[in-house]
Amino acid sequence: MSKIALVTGASRGIGRAIAARLAKDGYRVWVNYGRSKDEAESLCSEIESAGGSAVPVGFDVGDAEAVKAALEPLIDSEGAPDVVVSNAGITRDGLFAMTGHDEWHGVINTNLGGFYHVTKVCLRGMLRRRSGRIVAISSVSGQAGNPGQVNYSASKAGLIGACKSLAKEIASRKITVNVVAPGFVETDMVKELPKEELAKAVPLGRFGTPDEIAAAVSFLAGDEAGYITGQVLGVNGGMYM
């Protein structure tokens, strides 16, 4: 029976690349989406056509009851995921002085709260099985900060702290918890940015690709990373060292 990987926010961008890579690695992938149902179903079809296994799972990671309603029946029928990748995230950029209640709490609840909601539902089965991999997708903004992204940076820094603490809590159960922190990556999220100008701030001189982030997740999810936990792997071209 194939191992299972759950990837949140998997219908587009980095999440899509992660889901495709884990399917290639042999996992049955639960492809989470929020609103992009067609994209999620398209990805699952691509995975199945390539000989892999995937199923679309729709829920808003920021809604605790929706998470439980979607995941608990799957866990009951197929078992807890072997790998949980918390990738779903949003931005609501703007100067802090102008950031409203909704812009603050919406970002925190999705990016950080989503990690809590999803991981908590999956963790019980992982603890009983005494094995698992948890990987959260943070950001260089959560390590170094970024003007106009106080809410986003706070949520991504919170992920790092949460993962380091959780790694210590559950290491005795042979479950690892790590973070991948991308820099600028070629996705829809950055398509309106002045890429040529921003790339000058990257020592390697370019934006990363979703596949490069997926490769890092694949490593941390694999057997060879069994002695790595509580770590932050920066995939950022040297922006933050």
**pTM, full prediction:** 0.97
Residue 240 in any domain: the answer is: no
- Per this entry, what is the length of the chain? 241
Do residues 81 and 30 touch, judged by C-beta distance below 8 A?
Answer: yes
Q: Which has the closest alpha carbon to 80: 131, 122, 23?
A: 122
Residue 148 in any domain: the answer is: yes
Average pLDDT over residues 108-115: 98
Distance CA 57, CA 8 (A): 9
The predicted-structure confidence for 91-110, as pLDDT tens digits, reads as follows: 999 999 999 999 999 999 99
Residue 119 in any domain: the answer is: yes
The predicted-structure confidence for 70-82, as pLDDT tens digits, reads as follows: 999 999 999 999 9
- Confidence at residue 193, expressed as pLDDT on a 0 to 100 scale: 80
Mean pLDDT over each residue of the chain, to the nearest integer:
97
Do residues 113 and 62 touch, judged by C-beta distance below 8 A?
Answer: yes
CB atoms within 10 A of CB 51: 8
- Confidence at residue 192, expressed as pLDDT on a 0 to 100 scale: 76
Residue 19 in any domain: the answer is: yes
What is the band of 2 on the pLDDT scale with cuts at 50, 70, 90? confident
Residue 54 in any domain: the answer is: yes
Residue 78 in any domain: the answer is: yes
Residue 241 in any domain: the answer is: no
CATH number at residue 127: 3.40.50.720
- Confidence at residue 103, expressed as pLDDT on a 0 to 100 scale: 97
Percent above pLDDT 90 for the chain: 95
| Phi/psi at 57 (5° precision) | -135, 110
Burial 65-100 (b: 16+ CB within 10 A, else e): eebbebbeebbeeeebbbbbbbbbbbbbeeeeeebe
Tally of domains in the chain: 1
The predicted-structure confidence for 183-201, as pLDDT tens digits, reads as follows: 999 998 777 788 889 999 9
- Confidence at residue 146, expressed as pLDDT on a 0 to 100 scale: 94
Which residues does the annotation mark as catalytic? 152
Q: Which of the residue ranges 70-74, 85-89, 186-190, 224-228 would you say has the lowest mean pLDDT?
A: 186-190
Domain that holds residue 91: 4-235
The predicted-structure confidence for 157-187, as pLDDT tens digits, reads as follows: 999 999 999 999 999 999 999 999 999 999 9
CB atoms within 10 A of CB 5: 29
- Confidence at residue 195, expressed as pLDDT on a 0 to 100 scale: 86
